[in-house]
Structure 1
Amino acid sequence: MIEKMDYAMIPNGFAHCFNGDCKNADHCLRHQIVRFIPDELWSVSVVNPARTSFDGECEAFMVDTPLKNAVGMDHLFDRIPCYEAKCIKQSLLTMYGKNKFYQFKRKERAFSPEDQHYIRQVFLSYGVEEEPVFDSWQTGYQWVKG
């Protein structure tokens, strides 16, 4: 169960669920955020109650487990030989595109655990066994159903 949350981190339009009787309510992100709705907020998006279920077999269910996201890559290539660093950077540009790559670089977007794993695999594919070095870490939630 989520004990504390800054409601500002919830994306606009993220659907809330008010079905407290669901057996997964204590671990559903959509239900957990309901407790943090600010009083001054006029309205929120809601999952259609007809589409929820009480048995926990709900297609709207999203796990409330926090993720450890990496932020920034100012030193990602510092300890890597020049040729491998260029190849790795090109692989990341190919995978993410220029916009997303530079959003990561400018710290406008965090690296999800899946992104971190992908970067680790790219490092390994170029013979770099050292762990990727990110600038900092933040705890967050997966707001998009995967």
Structure 2
Amino acid sequence: MKTDFDYNSMPVSFAHCLNGHCLRADKCLRRQVSLRMPKERATVMVINPEHIASDGGDCTYFIDEKPVLFARGMKHLLDQVPLADATVIKRQMMAYFGKTIYYRCCNKERLIKPKEQEYIQGLFRRRGITEMPQFDEYVEYYDLG
């Protein structure tokens, strides 16, 4: 877990795990977040301990505590791409994300997940563009699914 972890950066609806006996507890974001709960937080969402296996082997709620690289902003993503290719790629991104989310991603209002970055890279490759897409900036955050 990041040393500068900010509990308040987690969504209010994020489910916490109180299972300290799980074999994967030390690597699970849900468990690590529950250990850093501030006393000012009166209520939290919790995964029912009876619902999950204590060994953590096949826990569907497990989230790796290591942050991953998210992209933020796509204002200049297509600047160096030929117009015909840029038009097709933009249309495909809008179909993939939906118009609202596409523009939120462009305007840095929503992070672009690693899987979404891979999808965009695939669009570039299919158009024969060898340069990797360059997003406005990159930030480390937890992949919440």
Same-fold status (TM-score > 0.5) = yes
Gaps of 5+ in 2: none
Contact kept in structure 2, 1:2 and 1:32, CA below 8 Å = no
Please say which of residues 1-10 and 92-101 is displaced more in the overlay.
Answer: 1-10
Moved over 2 A (4+): 1-4, 57-60
For 1:51, what is the secondary structure of its paired residue? Answer: coil
3-state SS, counterpart of residue 49 of structure 1: coil
Structure 1 residue 4: deviation in Å? 3.5
In 1, distance between residues paired with 2:63 and 2:56? 11
* Change in 2 beyond 3 A, CA 1:78/1:116: same
1:60, CA displacement in angstroms? 2.2
Summarize the alignment of residues 127-146 of structure 1 with structure 2, pairs less than 5 Å apart.
Answer: 127-144=128-145
Q: In 1, are the aligned partners of 2:2 and 2:67 still within 8 Å (CA)? A: no
SS at the partner of 2:103? helix
Alignment of 1:108-119 (within 5 A): 108-119=109-120
Instruction: Return the TM-score normalized by structure 1.
Output: 0.92
2:75 counterpart residue number: 74
Report whether the alignment pairs 1:46 with 2:53.
no
**Which residue identity is paired with 2:137?**
S
List per-residue Cα deviations over 1:86-140 (Å, max 9, x = no partner).
Answer: 1111111111110110010111111111011100000111111111011111011
Answer whether contact 1:67 1:139 (CA < 8 A) is retained.
yes
Structure 1 residue ranges without an equivalent (≥5): none
CA contact (8 A) 1:72 1:106 kept: yes
- Give distance in 1, aligned partners of 2:3 and 2:31: 13
Counterpart contact for 1:71–1:109, Cα < 8 Å = yes
| Count of residue pairs brought into register by the alignment | 144
**Shift of residue 3, structure 1, vs aligned partner:** 3.5
Equivalent residue letter for 1:24: R
Q: Which amino acid aligns with 1:140?
A: Y
- C-alpha displacement of 1:2: 4.6
SS, match of residue 99 in structure 1: helix
* Distance across 1 between alignment mates of 2:95 and 2:54: 44
